[in-house]
Structure 1
């Protein structure tokens, strides 16, 4: 067997595989022999079928399979051994002639080759990095939000926007009188904050135990069958018959009392023993806010870094026609009729992937198993954050992270996330950062598209 590679241009080449009968004959004989051991033919038991009969019946198909495998292995081994950076997959030349009756074969494959890339990632490259200022207003807003979150429900004397109201529901006639044999719910519960109609919400403002409110549940729930059946304690099929006014007689009002600034609150909000007084609490909370905002800053950096590096590299030379041919052969809805349009959509991401991989090689970025596991840990931690800091134990996070990685799709996605993160970290370390401190409002404006 002989394999040759000829470079046809900066980003394309041709691999030629020449296969002689001696390269595959023994493998054909071996496979035919295995078939003879297992297959029976009329008048012959398995293992006793004449070799000539087996060869006559199965020889052509076996030869076809063996030759194809030998050629495919030769191409991919050559690419691997010679470290050719192929884009897509080798594409068979259209003029390949595969006459199975021949003894010797020659096959040619077009290959697209990754272009040479100068990333320009060095200290001469400048990328902006925005640090978001943590204002006292932000700290105060966060404290109030946490006090609400960790507050407790207590009886109240007057309704508030987030109050839960207990009482009885009585269905009324159009003239306001009690409807005979109408719906009556003795122990009803309402949360006006969830009403879909603002006018209906206002009817419950500044009310007290003992007050009565006439409202329309159907309007309040926007005629949702599920919500109405739950509120009125009736079957969904019966909702249409009860869309008039009801009187709600208030028996009890439950309001949310914000948490006190005590040790229990400090532990719940920022972690156990992280703060022991209000001053320490504000400082710890400010650090947490800054840490969260750092994630936003780093996200913005990925946008700016990608933009700066891409512009510095310029448009890459790509083996366009070879890639289009490969895409058509792959299928996935891409045909000769739409491949031009689809390739235009794919090109920016393809170019960035090539640049990213070059930066990774240049900066010796390697993704280890621990990196992938850390990505999974991050996903789990964000999902569990709603349960408070005490839910985020290392043992719990690791347990669920391992579960996440059992799915191959999850693992591949998290590997790519880890690679992207480490590449941008490498860019951050190797370029010059133009540090800028901005307010939240100024930072948000960075994401507003510039006017044409």
Structure 2
């Protein structure tokens, strides 16, 4: 009769020893041999007619070892199920185990020991006790005007005037790296781009007025653009956006096309193109829709910011003890490639942090009934698709969208990833209801500064 004993060997770290007697594994060994003789293909014998004795001689020891180990594994699993043990990863066989002791010709009692890491019992940090702020960005008339302008440009009609007349002209240009006199640098950077005149800084713009297709100017990036646009242009040219030396390089910029977008008129046709399905009739309704969209964008940013805070409170203020010795051994042995004790030591802090977050999420999911349903994953697939295609969730459902979603639901990796992301989102949704956050109205600038302060708190 098999026996299983358990002893504590460290913090949340137990040793389980499984002893199996002859009676536990011999019947299954005999059965396995018979099964083997039925299926074995051995020259000179008809299939299924190979004598068991011969099979035993040829393959007996490996079948015997397999059966003993399978019996041990079954006893271990049954014991852990019966005892309701919550463990990390898998039990690790201990170094004292030696499969070489298993001898078919002398069946005996065999003992195998395993080390397990037990999951800790802990309390999730009380989110209600923490001081947090829920920012509310004020949407100004100026922001609405800017967005209205952008939408009218986006839905406008492109024309090709002869020359540059003002800030709203679109220039297709070709940058070629030169010296200060406009002579091309050998092996220098060349790049085509498309820019609005208003992207250049105020002192540079007047020099572009009246320029036509095939005209060119020699410029220094640092002198032609203000900081935001300069960083964007440098990045596009393949430089580091903070590289001051690159910003002082000279380029010959040749205009390959002058364009001008005639802004869309403020009429129903435009309102419906900008906000399909909203049936906007007049300018007031349109501006209202613009305001709602801007507000919704900043509310989402504010919610993300609050979630960052929640994440850090949960991680920093939830006290959890881990079976470190076990986990370090598991890092060494549990992966595809074995690792050294030094590597395990080095990886442990990051590993423990991720593990801590996982067990916190698991506990919240269990205790607060956070559930991810198939339709949540379908919606996630749809949102992703609409994001890629630049479509609105309100657009009418097309058969190809349903086909796409059904196809994604067959993709195991996608479903697992989506499940994990939807679950995390729902956990944060629950967490936000537990927070006593103070509402604070702010301007975009104030909120952006606040975000920059927290930039190093990524998760």
Specify the TM-score bucket, using the shorter chain as the normaliser.
0.7 to 0.9
Q: Which of the residues 206, 209, 214 maps onto 1:206?
A: 209
Q: Equivalences for 1:219-368 in 2 at 5 Å?
A: 254-314=259-319, 316-332=320-336, 334-368=339-373
Aligned position for 1:46? 47
Q: Distance in 1 between matches of 2:450 and 2:396?
A: 33
Q: Which of the residues 401, 405, 410 maps onto 2:409?
A: 405
**Preserved CA contact (<8 Å) 1:35 1:54:** yes
**For residues 37 and 435 of structure 1, do their structure 2 counterparts lie closer, same or farther at Cα, with a shift above 3 Å needed?**
same
Aligned position for 1:70? 71
Cα distance, 1:432 vs structure 2: 2.2
Q: Which of the residues 118, 131, 134 maps onto 1:113?
A: 118
Q: Distance in 1 between matches of 2:145 and 2:88?
A: 54
Q: Distance in 2 between matches of 1:422 and 1:451?
A: 23
Aligned position for 1:100? 102
Q: Distance in 2 between matches of 1:52 and 1:91?
A: 36
- SS of alignment partner, residue 15 of structure 1: strand
What residue ranges of structure 2 are gaps of 5+ in the alignment?
173-191, 219-236, 238-251
**For residues 270 and 450 of structure 1, do their structure 2 counterparts lie closer, same or farther at Cα, with a shift above 3 Å needed?**
closer
Cα distance, 1:351 vs structure 2: 1.2
Aligned position for 2:30? 29
**Preserved CA contact (<8 Å) 2:15 2:115:** yes
1:378 aligns with 2:383: yes
Cα distance, 1:58 vs structure 2: 1.0
**For residues 327 and 214 of structure 1, do their structure 2 counterparts lie closer, same or farther at Cα, with a shift above 3 Å needed?**
closer
Q: Distance in 2 between matches of 1:154 and 1:388?
A: 28
Cα distance, 1:90 vs structure 2: 0.8
- SS of alignment partner, residue 310 of structure 2: helix
**Preserved CA contact (<8 Å) 1:274 1:284:** no
Q: Distance in 1 between matches of 2:53 and 2:215?
A: 98
- SS of alignment partner, residue 309 of structure 2: helix
The normalised TM-score by structure 2 is: 0.75
Aligned position for 2:374? 369
Q: Equivalences for 1:164-175 in 2 at 5 Å?
A: none
Cα distance, 1:7 vs structure 2: 4.3
Q: Distance in 2 between matches of 1:268 and 1:305?
A: 39
**Preserved CA contact (<8 Å) 1:150 1:265:** yes
1:424 aligns with 2:425: no
- SS of alignment partner, residue 90 of structure 1: strand
Aligned position for 2:195? 193
Cα shift readout 1:46-104 (whole Å, capped 9, x = no counterpart): 22221111111111111222222332333334334433221122111111233111432
Deviates more, 1:262-271 or 1:9-18: 9-18
Aligned position for 1:128? 133
Cα distance, 1:377 vs structure 2: 2.4
- SS of alignment partner, residue 275 of structure 1: coil
**For residues 424 and 215 of structure 1, do their structure 2 counterparts lie closer, same or farther at Cα, with a shift above 3 Å needed?**
closer
Cα shift readout 1:120-163 (whole Å, capped 9, x = no counterpart): 33644554322222222222221111111111112425325675
- SS of alignment partner, residue 35 of structure 1: helix
Q: Distance in 1 between matches of 2:254 and 2:356?
A: 66
- SS of alignment partner, residue 193 of structure 1: strand
Cα distance, 1:305 vs structure 2: 0.5
Cα distance, 1:446 vs structure 2: 2.4
Cα distance, 1:301 vs structure 2: 1.8
**For residues 311 and 151 of structure 1, do their structure 2 counterparts lie closer, same or farther at Cα, with a shift above 3 Å needed?**
same
**Preserved CA contact (<8 Å) 1:96 1:108:** yes
- SS of alignment partner, residue 447 of structure 1: helix
**Preserved CA contact (<8 Å) 1:381 1:397:** no
**Preserved CA contact (<8 Å) 1:119 1:313:** yes
What residue ranges of structure 1 are gaps of 5+ in the alignment?
167-189, 217-226, 228-244
Q: Distance in 2 between matches of 1:319 and 1:368?
A: 33
- SS of alignment partner, residue 452 of structure 2: coil
Aligned position for 1:152? 157
**For residues 25 and 406 of structure 1, do their structure 2 counterparts lie closer, same or farther at Cα, with a shift above 3 Å needed?**
same
